Structure 1
Amino acid sequence: MANGVYHTRYGIEINLTREDLNNPDYEGLLEEITQPVGQRPRDLLQCLTDYRGGQCQCALADKTPWMFVRRQRRDDTVVWIAAHLPLTHVATPEESDKHKAMKERIARTASRHGLNVQTEARSEDGRVITDVLVTGAAGRIGWEAQYSPITASTVRRRSAKARDRNIAPLWVTADATSALVDRAPWTRVDDVPWQRILSPLALLIRGGVRHLQIWKCTPGSERPCPETGSACRKWHSGWFLPALCIPQERATPLDELIVTSADGEHLPVRTRNRHDPRRTSYLWALASDVQHWRAVTGQTDTPPETALTDDETVTYTEQELDSSCRYGEESPHPGSPRPQRDTTSATGLHTFDHVPDQPLRQPNRPIQLRLTPRERLVIAAQLKCPPWEIGPCMLCAAPIHRYGPRSPMTCPTCRIPHHQ
């Protein structure tokens, strides 16, 4: 992040590390350059490298050299920094249709199960609008359907505002590379057409929901040692995707999480990487798993990072103006495709010497199918089979034509390997 910018209207260079911004004659300059971008021209502030005729990395990447100023916490101090403006993304018609369909599905499912539902719910002060607000016995869940690109800072800011109003944020996406993954409580589903989102067919969760696994690390263990690669004869625990559990757990349908998150059967968990405390992961897990995890490891949820408050004092470090462009320094390959953030690796691995009171070996969620008579009729019509031949996929519990002649025991999705 740069410590200075160029003001295109006044023709001055601004040093953000000095209290007078190196321009003592311009009264109200700080208030002007820190106002929201929507309330001032986008080209008001320019990258110093680009202004001086240098090679601005942002401009070279076919993006704009325009910048904005915000506060950032560095260690124990708060400073002003300048960063390049992201490109404004306008949702495509396809993204908008999927967004509307997902909101409708969430609201319809919650309402059908007797939960209180509000769409486009606005907070009392009007500063927070939630796509779908679902209220149940465990509190208020703020669902955000995200089908267009979004920045990590936006996810953190909107999630923090929701928490301040006692709303538990829950972001749903179909993009494994989305910046929202592990920046707030989240979940991922398959990227399907909007018509499929609105259908009564199950929409399985592919990421963001995990199960607790505890095992003894021995030469005969079904898992390799996550610490040494060979048997250490200690106990390990970690959060795994359903397909990687031993024995295998069934996948959680989205409709189920809509209900169980509001009822408290599923809880959000935030864990830190033991080898890199700066890296955190969010996941949803069964309340019984969460209680067991806390008892075995002695850990509790790490509170989310607090957003900067308006009354925190900015520190001016009185540095020399740095005109170098900092765009892309956070990534070794700024021009490469976005990396996949949603991975299958275990989260929150923990090693301990003692034997847990209740080692987990049996699946927590046996495979079963719960359909209303109406839902069974609709699905049977779509699958072109009698209603009584509808049954659960033996791996994910999605409704399939299970009991007809030569019918498969698994759904088409489970028969295709997923390398994500």
Structure 2
Amino acid sequence: MANGVYHTGYGIKINLDREDLANPGYDGLLEEITQPIGQRPRDLLQCLTDYEGGQCQCALDGKTPWMFVRRQRSAGRVSWVAAHLPLTHVATPQESDKHKAMKERIARTASRSGLDVQTEARSPDGRVITDVLVTGAGARVGWEAQYSPITPGTVRKRSARAREHSIAPLWVTADATSALIDRAPWTRVDDVPWQRIISPLALIIRGGVRHLQIWKCTPSSERACPETGQACRRWHSGWFLPALCIPQERATPLDELIVTSADGEHLPVRSRNRHDPHRISYLWALARDVKRWREITGDTGTSPETGPADDEPITYTEQELDSSCRYGEEGPHTSSPRPQRETTSATGLHTFDHAPDDTLLQPTRPIALHLSPRERLTVARELRCPPWEIGPCMLCATPIHRYGSRSPKACPACRTTTHHT
């Protein structure tokens, strides 16, 4: 990251490693250069290399030499850094079609389940516009269908604004590398054409929904000790993907989460990594599992958000201004060292000495298939089989041709996922 920028309005060079920014005569300069991009000209701050007539690699790549200033945490301290502005992404026709199809599916599913639905819901002050606002007995859930790139900062700000209006944000994506993952409550489905999104066939959630696992760490345990790798004879708990649970849990269909998140059966969880307090995972889990987890860990779910807070002190190193262009070394636009992709490893691992109550060890829910007669006929036509041969996938409960001659017990997506896992 660069430690300096050129201010095109004042015609001055700014050193971000100096407490006075190397310009003591300009009151309010820091507040001006750190305000949101939408509230100031995009060309206010310029790459020093480009200003001095050098080769700014960003400009050479056909982008712009304009920059922004943000906080960055590194080696336990927070400092100001400058980075090149990303180009504004315009959704492709395919992304736009998928976005519209996902919004329609969420609204249709919620409406059929008797929930209150608003599309493009706007808050009274106009600061929050939600793709689909679903209101049930348990929560007001703001669904955001995200099929185009988005910055982590945008996800955090929009989610924070939603919470200010008592809306639980829930982002849905089809990209396992999306920057929204673990920046707010999220979920991921398969990347399929818009026609598949809007069809009555199930969309299985592949990430963002997890189940609590509790086990005694003994030599006969099916899991290795997360602490030492050898049996420690203590108890462990953690959040696992359905396919990695022992025994396997069924995956959650998207349509089910649309209803259960509003009814309060699924709850959002923010799990902090105890080895790295700045690393947080977001997930959705069954309310029963969340209750178990809080009884075991004592976590109330009120821990602060990750990333450098606005009131964290800035460290000024007083280094000399470096005018070299750092484009290409900047990496993704994030203030946290954690990876910007979902992982299959367990999150929220916790170790404790005493055995939990027996009720905390009971299984969560059975595999079941809930289809109306009309939906069963529609699925049968899609799969080209008799309606009475439709049954649930044993892993995710999505409707499949289950009971025909030589029919598999799991859907193709689950068989592929389990094989790769």
Give the TM-score of the pair, scaled to structure 2.
0.88
Query: Do 2:234 and 2:351's aligned partners in 1 also have CA atoms closer than 8 Å?
Result: yes
Q: Could you tell me how far 1:139 is from its partner in structure 2?
A: 2.0
Give the 5 Å matches for 1:172-187: 172-187=172-187
Residues 14-72 of structure 1 show CA distances to partners (whole Å, capped at 9, x for unaligned) of 34545586173x78866765565346543332112333355656457664321124567
Q: Could you tell me how far 1:226 is from its partner in structure 2?
A: 1.0
Considering only aligned residues, what root-mean-square deviation do their CA atoms show, in Å? 3.2
Q: Could you tell me how far 1:5 is from its partner in structure 2?
A: 1.4
Q: Which residue of 2 aligns with 1:104?
A: 104
Q: Could you tell me how far 1:417 is from its partner in structure 2?
A: 3.6
Structure 1's 363 and 72: CA in aligned 2 closer, same or farther, altered over 3 A?
A: same
Q: Which residue of 2 aligns with 1:133?
A: 133
Give the 5 Å matches for 1:248-267: 248-267=248-267
Residues 344-399 of structure 1 show CA distances to partners (whole Å, capped at 9, x for unaligned) of 10000011111111265553121110011111111111111221221111121110
- Structure 2: distance between partners of 1:314 and 1:402: 60
* Residue aligned with 1:86, SS: coil
Gaps of 5+ in 2: none
**1:192 lines up with 2:192 in the alignment:** yes
Amino acid at match of 1:373: P
- Structure 1: distance between partners of 2:401 and 2:163: 43
Query: Do 1:160 and 1:307's aligned partners in 2 also have CA atoms closer than 8 Å?
Result: no
* Residue aligned with 2:278, SS: coil
Q: Which residue of 1 aligns with 2:23?
A: 22
- Structure 1: distance between partners of 2:207 and 2:104: 21
Structure 1's 85 and 367: CA in aligned 2 closer, same or farther, altered over 3 A?
A: same
- Structure 2: distance between partners of 1:300 and 1:328: 41
Aligned residues: 414
**1:303 lines up with 2:303 in the alignment:** yes
Residues 180-230 of structure 1 show CA distances to partners (whole Å, capped at 9, x for unaligned) of 111110000000000000001110000010001000111111111111111
The percent of aligned pairs where both chains have the same amino acid is 78
Structure 1's 353 and 121: CA in aligned 2 closer, same or farther, altered over 3 A?
A: same
- Structure 2: distance between partners of 1:297 and 1:78: 30
Q: Could you tell me how far 1:405 is from its partner in structure 2?
A: 2.5
Structure 1's 41 and 365: CA in aligned 2 closer, same or farther, altered over 3 A?
A: same
- Structure 2: distance between partners of 1:195 and 1:322: 54
Give the TM-score of the pair, scaled to structure 1.
0.88
Structure 1's 21 and 140: CA in aligned 2 closer, same or farther, altered over 3 A?
A: farther
Gaps of 5+ in 1: none
* Residue aligned with 2:161, SS: helix
Structure 1's 182 and 308: CA in aligned 2 closer, same or farther, altered over 3 A?
A: closer
Q: Which residue of 2 aligns with 1:68?
A: 68
Structure 1's 270 and 313: CA in aligned 2 closer, same or farther, altered over 3 A?
A: closer
Amino acid at match of 1:137: A
Q: Which residue of 1 aligns with 2:37?
A: 37
Give the 5 Å matches for 1:204-353: 204-305=204-305, 319=318, 322-323=321-322, 324-327=324-327, 331=331, 341-353=341-353
Structure 1's 329 and 369: CA in aligned 2 closer, same or farther, altered over 3 A?
A: same
Query: Do 1:98 and 1:194's aligned partners in 2 also have CA atoms closer than 8 Å?
Result: yes
